[in-house]
Amino acid sequence: MPEKVIPDIVVGRLPIYLRSLQRMLAENRHVTSSQEMGERLGISAAQIRKDLSQFGEFGKQGTGYSIDYLADQIRKILNVDRVWEMAVVGAGDIGSAVARYQGFANRGMQVAMIFDNDPQKIGTRVGDFTVQDTAQIEDAIREAEIRVAMIATPSRGAQEVADQLTKAGVRAILNYAPIHLTVPENVRVQYIDPVIHLQRMTYYL
Amino acid sequence: MPEKVIPDIVVGRLPIYLRSLQRMLAENRHVTSSQEMGERLGISAAQIRKDLSQFGEFGKQGTGYSIDYLADQIRKILNVDRVWEMAVVGAGDIGSAVARYQGFANRGMQVAMIFDNDPQKIGTRVGDFTVQDTAQIEDAIREAEIRVAMIATPSRGAQEVADQLTKAGVRAILNYAPIHLTVPENVRVQYIDPVIHLQRMTYYL
């Protein structure tokens, strides 16, 4: 039987559900419902039930979801029941903030190395890391078998960095440079550009 | 005649089109087509034409779009043919990076003030700004008539900050804290959480 293809928009909501469940666990909660999750997230309970049902049966009608169990299952689905090492390219304000960010722990991610092409930055410390020369990207990433990377360079250099990363085996790129990247078909890119989000809101003001 | 309601997903693509057009202008280009835009953005030309047609007629069949004119029109639609002053709450790594970010200029946004509740940070300089006490949020924002804000605090304080901001008149919040915010109906929130984007990609790895 061919594997069912889940719409990417549904996949995109799972991390939001997981974050909410992890927050409930931190509040010492053990059972929740699609209603409660929906109220917390501003998503309808029906949508949440429908999304989750694409992946299996996670709760019984009337008794709700075990938070621990559902969180575990979503972690497995998203492949974050392990820790992904990540490379950060660009040791400017954003790259440094990301490299020092404490919020990756327990969410399946961990920064493993950071690169820059500025001789003044190469060799300096950012959080727990020594900034490496971007000339080393391919060798370092290939050796560490890294599959996930973040680009936090200026727009100008971002495409070249993406080319190096994908050549070295990276398959998922989070791009902070405000430019669209062209990558091979087997590589995923997600974009973070605050202005894009802001302009989407000023439309309504 | 009632005003046509444009789907938010279409509104959300306009800033991406605008960014691409501004990049072409920086390359000294003057005319483009939905085909070229589509190739640059990984969006179909038909989708781009359909999206733009929701707002009017911006080009002639066969002659393409005047980049200058189309960019101007999209700026007007998104209300970024003016500059929005923004408040940043949280002067940690991310808040500071945002306050120093040079990429807002010419995209309709400008940081105007930054707040933190840490006595060690209040009064210090971040980029061009002096960090103000979060106790001043409501007065300062009301006086400056600020409508757009960014929250870059830890999760714990984010909802309280959102309450203060909306009480003071903020109508658009970009939230970097990894938590869902509850706001009045006339307030928009957009979220930036790198882990949400990363987990959406690890699903496919």
Q: What is the largest CA-CA distance in chain A?
A: 62
Q: Cβ(B181)–Cβ(B175) under 8 Å?
A: yes
Judged on CB neighbours under 10 Å (0-12, 13-18, 19+), A68 is: middle
Please give the residue of chain B at the shortest CA–CA distance from A191.
B197
B151 touches B92 (CB < 8 A): no
- Band (B143; pLDDT cuts 50, 70, 90): very high
The residues, ordered by sequence, that sit 6+ positions from B147 with a Cβ below 8 Å of its Cβ are A205, B84, B169, B170, B171, B172
pLDDT for residue B1 is more than 50: no
Q: Are the CB atoms for B21 and B10 separated by under 8 Å? A: no
Mean pLDDT within B49-76:
90
Selected residue of A54, A196, A201 to mutate for chain B interface (largest B Cβ count, 10 A) = A201
Query: By CA distance, what is A16's nearest residue in B?
Result: B196
- Name the pTM for this structure: 0.92
pLDDT range class, residue B4, cuts 50, 70, 90: confident
Give chain A positions within 8 Å (CB) of B197.
174, 190, 192
Task: Tell me if A172 and B202 make a contact (CB, 8 A cut-off).
Answer: yes
Distance, CA of B86 to CA of A52 (rounded, Å): 38
| Both tokens assigned to B2 | 């009632």
How high is the mean pLDDT of chain B?
94
Mean pLDDT of B18-40: 94
Distance CA A102, CA A86 (A): 14
The H-assigned helical ranges of B7-66 are: 8-26, 34-41, 45-53
The predicted structure's pLDDT at residue A121: 98
Q: Name the residue in chain A with its Cα closest to that of B171.
A: A205
A160 vs A154: CA distance, rounded Å: 11
Number of Cβ within 10 Å of residue A36's Cβ equals 17
Model confidence at A158: pLDDT above 90: yes
* A175 close to A199: Cβ distance less than 8 angstroms: no
Mutate to test the interface with A, among B10, B191, B199, B203 (most CBs of A within 10 A): B199
Which residues of chain B make contact with A204, given a CB cutoff of 8 A? 11, 171-172, 188
| pLDDT over 50 at A4, yes or no | yes
What would the mean pLDDT of A163-183 be, rounded to a whole number? 96
Given pLDDT bands bounded at 50, 70 and 90, which one contains residue B2? low
CA torsion sign for B195, B196, B197, B198 is positive
Cα B132 to chain centroid distance, Å, stands at 23
Specify whether the CB–CB gap between A118 and A135 falls below 8 A.
Answer: no
Chain B residues closer than 8 Å to A190 by CB: 197-198, 200-201
Nearest CB among B97, B103, B147 relative to A195 is that of B103
Residue B202 confidence (pLDDT): 97
What's the mean pLDDT in B110-116?
A: 97
CA of A192 vs chain B CAs: smallest distance (Å)? 7
ipTM: 0.95
Collect contacts of B128-135 with beta carbons under 8 A, ≥24 apart: B129/B99, B131/B91, B134/B89, B134/B161, B134/B164
pLDDT band at B70 (very low <50, low <70, confident <90, very high): very high
The predicted-structure confidence for A16-69, as pLDDT tens digits, reads as follows 999 999 999 999 999 999 999 999 998 999 999 999 999 988 877 778 899 999
* Helix pair angle (B8-26, B45-53), 10° resolution: 110
Which of B6, B201, B204 to substitute to test the interface with A, most A CBs within 10 Å?
B201
Q: Which residues on A lie below 8 Å from B171 (Cβ)? A: 201, 204-205
Q: Which residues of B touch A4 (CB under 8 A)?
A: none
pLDDT in tens, A98-122: 999 988 988 999 999 999 999 999 9
Distance CA B147, CA A122 (A): 40
Q: How far apart, in Å, are the Cα atoms of B22 and each of A107, A178, A200, B12?
A: 36, 11, 17, 17
Average pLDDT score over residue span A123-139: 97
* CB–CB contact B198 A84 (8 Å): yes
- Scan for tokens 């984007």, then name that residue: B197
Angle, vertex CA A152, rays to CA A76 and CA B157, nearest 5: 65
Amino acid in the structure at residue A87:
A
Nearest Cα to A79, choosing from B200, B197, B193, B179? B200
Task: With beta carbons less than 8 A apart as the criterion, state whether A109 and A84 touch.
Answer: yes
**Residue B20 reports pLDDT greater than 60:** yes
> Region A141-159: what's the mean pLDDT?
96
Q: Do A190 and B180 touch (CB under 8 A)?
A: no
pLDDT in tens, B152-193: 999 999 999 999 999 999 999 999 999 999 999 999 999 999
Mean of pLDDT values over B114-135: 97
Q: Is the model's pLDDT at B105 over the cut of 90?
A: no
- B110 contacts B85 by C-beta, under 8 angstroms: yes
Q: Which residues of B touch A40 (CB under 8 A)?
A: 180
Q: For residue A133, give Cα distances in angstroms to A82, A120, B48, B76, B203.
A: 28, 10, 39, 43, 30
B133 and B115 Cβ atoms separated by less than 8 Å: yes
Residue B58: predicted pLDDT: 85
User: Which is higher by pLDDT, A4 or B155?
Assistant: B155
Q: Apex CA B25: angle with CA B20 and CA B28, to 5°? A: 135
Inter-chain residue contact B103 with A15, CB threshold 8 Å:
no
Q: Min CA distance, A19 vs chain B (Å)? A: 8
| pLDDT exceeds 80 at position A2 | no
